[in-house]
Structure 1
Amino acid sequence: MELTPAELTVLGLVVERPQHGYELEQVIEQRGIRQWTEIGFSSIYYLLAKLEKRGLMAAEHARGGAKSRRVFRATAEGRDAAARSARALIADTAPTPHPVLVGVANSPLLSEREYAAALGARLVHVDARISAVEAAERALGPVPKPASEVLSYSLSLMKAERSWLAERAQVSDDREDRPEEDARQLPGAAR
């Protein structure tokens, strides 16, 4: 039984601890999960219903809470399916489509100045994302190990991309605290 990344994310959060839909939304928002998977607010309830129908989770009404509030728990089958899917996704080395690669592959369509400016703009955005993830990590405090691993992996990828961009745009890696200054120094960058 294969799970989509969105299904596995929701099921994994319910395996972590039983919760209702609104709690899931809060965890997804707090951990920045939407930066690496597509789960809209309205799709949470759709995914919960779909996973419940497949027997991967069961719901019960919350005690002392709102009548409509149902707390979802993973079933044994759900835990097994989540573990299988997680194992497969971790081990899978299939290439992931990345739009920036399409742009870089077509960089001969740009002048050197335009290419450098585009790299500089991307560098500014990557620096902002790194800062946002680091701030979110500090604000979250202690998180379950899976969340910590996701943050660590995400930051590692962003920092590797930052290093690549800085090299191409001829910007020093030690200027991480002043990305807007880096962008101004690029040929063709807006001043």
Structure 2
Amino acid sequence: MTQIEIILLALLYDKDCHGYEFEQIIEKEKMRMWTHIGFSSIYNALNKLEHCDYIVSRLEKGNGSSSKRVYSIKDESKKIVKENIKKMISEYKSNPNDFKIGFIFSYLLSKDELTEALTKHKESLIERKENLNNEQLNVVRSEERKALFERTIAFLETDILWLDKCIKQNSNINYK
């Protein structure tokens, strides 16, 4: 599934929406800072999701004589959304926006699901850091290359510390 499809399905998880409502939420929540969603791509993705039977739509009377198409997520699609969110959080990928999208919608996961996903992500970052440390020892031929390895390792260390904080905070939250 694409990023935009996951976003639209996650937005439908709690509330039915019409097309322009998606645009308003995306704009209000500043989602374009971490993913590319054009106005027309919203409607293209909604059509695809409906065609693939993840969502349904209905026409509702608007204020005037016009009607609005309102979209709803199917119950069986909610499980797919949660699985994709867990995957986006737990897997280390070269595209950090996947993690951001997953994390923004992490409230849809249970406490245990979120802890597991964050822990898997942290473990993959630790493994990546160890691999970079080993590569650095074997490959570095110049101070510039060494500095780039050190920069990447520093970013990974910061992410690992941040994930530790998130995992601890999540374990202290009392879910219903």
In the superposition, the TM-score normalised over structure 1's length comes to: 0.48
Distance of 2:10 and 2:62 partners within structure 1: 26
Distance of 2:38 and 2:90 partners within structure 1: 26
List aligned pairs for 1:168-179, cutoff 5 A: none
Change (3 A) 1:5 1:69: same
Provide the aligned length of Structure 1 versus Structure 2: 102
Match of residue 136 from structure 1:
none
Distance of 1:76 and 1:148 partners within structure 2: 18
Match of residue 11 from structure 1:
9
Match of residue 159 from structure 2:
none
Match of residue 158 from structure 1:
none
Distance of 1:4 and 1:48 partners within structure 2: 12
State the Cα RMSD in Å. Answer: 2.7
Return the offset for 1:64: 4.6
Match of residue 92 from structure 1:
91
Match of residue 80 from structure 2:
81
Of 22, 25, 30, which residue of structure 2 is paired with 1:24? 22
Give 5+ residue unaligned stretches, structure 2: 98-102, 108-150, 152-176
Give 5+ residue unaligned stretches, structure 1: 99-144, 150-163, 165-191
- Please tell me whether the aligned partners of residues 85 and 105 of structure 2 are also in contact (alpha carbons under 8 angstroms): no
Letter in 1 for 2:5: E
Letter in 2 for 1:60: R
Match of residue 180 from structure 1:
none
SS of aligned partner of 1:16: coil
* Structure possessing the higher relative contact order (Cα contacts under 8 Å, 6 or more residues apart): 1
Return the offset for 1:63: 3.7
List aligned pairs for 1:26-105, cutoff 5 A: 26-65=24-63, 67-96=66-95
List aligned pairs for 1:90-169, cutoff 5 A: 90-96=89-95, 146=104
SS of aligned partner of 1:42: helix
SS of aligned partner of 1:37: coil
In the superposition, the TM-score normalised over structure 2's length comes to: 0.51
